[in-house]
């Protein structure tokens, strides 16, 4: 088995495990069910402190149902992120990307976007500002990770609910100042 086929097989098994776990919840236990949890910029699957499986990032191609469009990745292993059960999500970063595209069945979804400012070139609010649109609608205008989190090395999660999807969900990033960045994406069925 080639490395690429092995990687795809591992990702498929992790996704299948997420579906089984999500489907096993008793009625009324949760209002949303996880569809995807992506560790943006990561090259390995990660299970966080609460048992949630985060998939490794991948490039969007015609042969996969989701992925990043463009961009670069970085891993900052020496950074410490307090106040989260998923600290490794914030060590990996995808930046300068055009967006992410997900093929999904029709329905309503919640999107959780995970951020932490870990780049030493951003030391104050206003030094990295970007817009995020979901399916063509601005979800976060002039978003500043440093400002939203209250400083560097602090996690911040932005949740957007009630997103109507007919067949795909597109998350687009627009640069205002510095390059956009993201650490994690969760998509949950409502």
pLDDT of residue 138: 98
pLDDT of residue 31: 59
Question: What distance in Å separates the CA atoms of residue 169 and residue 163, rounded to the nearest whole number?
Answer: 9
Q: What pLDDT tens digit does each residue of the chain (190 aa) get? A: 444 444 444 444 444 444 333 333 333 444 578 899 999 999 999 999 999 999 999 999 999 999 999 999 999 999 999 999 999 999 999 999 999 999 999 999 999 999 999 999 999 999 999 999 999 999 999 999 999 999 999 999 999 999 999 999 999 999 999 999 999 999 999 9
pLDDT of residue 87: 96
Assess contact for 92 and 41: CB atoms under 8 A: yes
- For the domain covering 3-189, report its CATH number: 2.60.120.430
pLDDT of residue 33: 84
Give the residue among 190, 185, 188 at the shortest CA–CA distance from 55: 185
Nearest-5° angle of CA 128, CA 114, CA 31?
Answer: 145
Question: What distance in Å separates the CA atoms of residue 184 and residue 57, rounded to the nearest whole number?
Answer: 9
Residue showing tokens 């967006």: 99
pLDDT of residue 13: 42
Quote the pTM value.
Answer: 0.84
Return the beta strands (E) in 66-155 as ranges: 66-69, 72-75, 92-95, 99-103, 107-115, 129-134, 137-143
pLDDT of residue 34: 85
Pairing of strands 99-103, 66-69: antiparallel
């Amino acid at each position: 088995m080639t490395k690429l086929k092995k990687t795809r097989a591992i990702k498929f098994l992790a996704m299948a495990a997420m579906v089984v776990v999500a489907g096993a919840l008793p009625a009324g236990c949760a209002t949303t069910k996880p569809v995807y949890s992506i560790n943006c910029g990561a090259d390995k699957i990660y299970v966080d402190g609460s048992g949630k499986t985060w998939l490794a990032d991948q490039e969007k191609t015609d042969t996969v149902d989701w992925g990043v469009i463009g961009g670069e990745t970085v891993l900052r292993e020496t950074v410490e992120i307090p106040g989260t059960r998923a600290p490794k999500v914030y060590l990996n970063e995808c930046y300068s990307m055009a967006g992410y595209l997900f093929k999904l069945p029709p329905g309503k979804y919640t999107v959780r976007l995970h951020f932490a400012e870990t780049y030493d070139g951003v030391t104050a609010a206003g030094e990295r500002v970007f817009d995020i649109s979901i399916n063509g609608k601005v979800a976060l205008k002039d978003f500043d990770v440093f400002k939203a989190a209250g400083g560097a090395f602090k996690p911040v999660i932005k949740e957007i609910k009630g997103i109507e999807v007919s067949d795909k969900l597109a998350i687009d990033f627009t640069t205002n100042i510095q390059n956009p960045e993201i650490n994690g994406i969760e998509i949950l069925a409502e």
